Amino acid sequence: MAVQDKRFARPEWKQPPFDALARAFLSTQQWWEEACRGVRGVSKHHEDQVAFVARQWLDMVSPSNFVATNPEVLKQTLLTGGANLANGWINWVRDAAAVAGDAKPRGVEAFLPGKAVALTPGKVVMRNELAELIQYEPTTATVLREPVFIVPAWIMKFYILDLTPEDSLVKYLVDNGHTVFIVSWRNPRSGQAGLGMEDYVRHGVFESLDTIRSLYPESDVHAAGYCLGGTLLAISAALPECPHAIRTLTLFAAQTDFSEPGELGLFMDESQISFLEDLMTENGYLDGRRMAGAFQLINSKDLVWSKLVHEYLMGATTPMTALRAWNADATRMPARMHAEYLRHLYLRNDLAEGRYRCTSHEPVDLSRIGVPMFVVATENDHVSPWKSVYRIHRLVDSPIDFLLTSGGHNVGIVNPPAGPAAHTAASYRKAHHAARKAPAEPDEWFASAQYSHGSWWPAWTHWLRKHSSGEIATLPVQGVAVNGKEIPAPGSYVKES
């Protein structure tokens, strides 16, 4: 049996007795995975839950997690005379003190929005109690007629799409002749517990579109949404009261059919949602740290145990990066909105099955969208599994360019084509299909899609240009005045904790 797990990929694990330990562990892992399946009288949801818990326990007792059974740690201990373990103890004490004091991870202070990240110049052009709309300064003499309007998720902050200048999707679009608008969501407070999905549609998407229409009255928009923002944007685009003509719709790692939501679905049943509702009653929101904990559990092998080995056993220090600092900049979820999202979309799949009502008594009908779509999924996504994202083909009457890129939920999207931040191993598969003509099964699509090496960003900007109606002269950005002063990008809401 070949050892495929990257925990045991180093040459030290090929030597006895460590090769036997690794093989025994992987055999045990496989046995438990099979033992949790096909149990008479047990639903698939509960089988998945048991398998998930079993994997968590097994990941915890992996031989890679202990000094005596990890040959890499033993080798490092001999080479350093035990200094690695002393350094690991220092790292653990520092991290434990930070957790006890409710402090942010060390190093995040070097990546503050507007200081080291979210640096693309622009101004806030609309502001309400829920969101700011930022327009970015053009860098080209002419721009495509249709602006790009981006709706990010509010689970995390928007500047994942405007990190450093080297890996900023916003800057890339601006430099390629696009007028770019993006929503910056406000971190909700206790008094905003009653905010629901309808509020995010009306005061986030619709008010932003009204503002864009006032600035560019003769232009449609290229609308794009990321993760939950993409789900919200798809809902908004399908509503008859959508206030602005959407020329194209792009979704980044966004689900519209939640029948196979991946391992996040393990946390979704009526009892758990009711528990979360009770939990949110006191403060009016779900704390972002609880969301972060769920994401860590889903990929604990890489996000928890690999850190234990690297920092506490090997004694190394993981340098803070812009992406890691953004990931630590957690946000809250309003109680009503979060409960609606979990119950109606995740648990009941009301949106895909035609039962979801948002702003009216009529259910949202995604087949009303009708415009060309560009849908990006990521191959190793633990949040929005690509086969779940693929189900959009069944719901809309639109021609779709579906693209599957390497990487995960964040790294797969933040994928610049050149420069120091470019991913040398990046690749993607892409195929175009007319409405309702895509293969029914994702694996069938995968086998026939065209493979390309590199970033997917150029393919998307080429597609946007293809669906645009020409160029116009650039216009100066006119920011909205708050207390007599314009607010420069990245705005004020992104800086609120």
> Catalytic residues, which ones?
227
Report DSSP letters for 311-361, one per residue. IIIS---PPP-HHHHHHHS---EEHHHHHHIIIIIIIT-TTTTT---SSSS
Give CA–CA dist 168/117, Å, rounded: 9
Q: Which amino acid does the sequence have at 65?
A: N
With a CB cutoff of 8 Å and minimum separation 6, the contacts of 31 are: none
Residue 451: strand pairing partners: 429
- List the beta strands (DSSP E) in 147-233: 148-151, 180-185, 221-226
Largest Cα span, the chain: 72
As a whole number of angstroms, the distance between CA 463 and CA 206 comes to 25
Could you give the count of Cα atoms lying within 13 Å of 391 in the half-sphere of its Cβ?
A: 18
Q: By CB neighbour count within 10 A (0-12 exposed, 13-18 middle, 19+ buried), where does 2 fall?
A: exposed
Amino acid type, 382: H
Ordered alpha helix ranges (H), 6-144:
18-35, 44-60, 71-80, 83-100
Residue 36 contacts residue 50 (beta carbons within 8 Å): yes
Contacts of 230 (CB under 8 A, 6+ apart): 151, 153, 224, 251, 252, 253, 254
Conformational region of residue 347, where left means phi above 0, alpha means psi within -120 to 50, and beta covers everything else = alpha
Residue 43: C-alpha distances to residues 31, 38, 331 (Å):
19, 9, 34
Residues 6+ apart with CB under 8 A from 337: 195, 196, 197, 199, 200
Classify 235 as helix, strand or coil.
Answer: helix
Is 141 exposed, middle or buried, given 0-12, 13-18 or 19+ CB atoms closer than 10 A? exposed
**Integer Cα distance of 37 and 34 in angstroms:** 5
Q: Is there a contact between 180 and 322 (Cβ–Cβ < 8 Å)? A: no
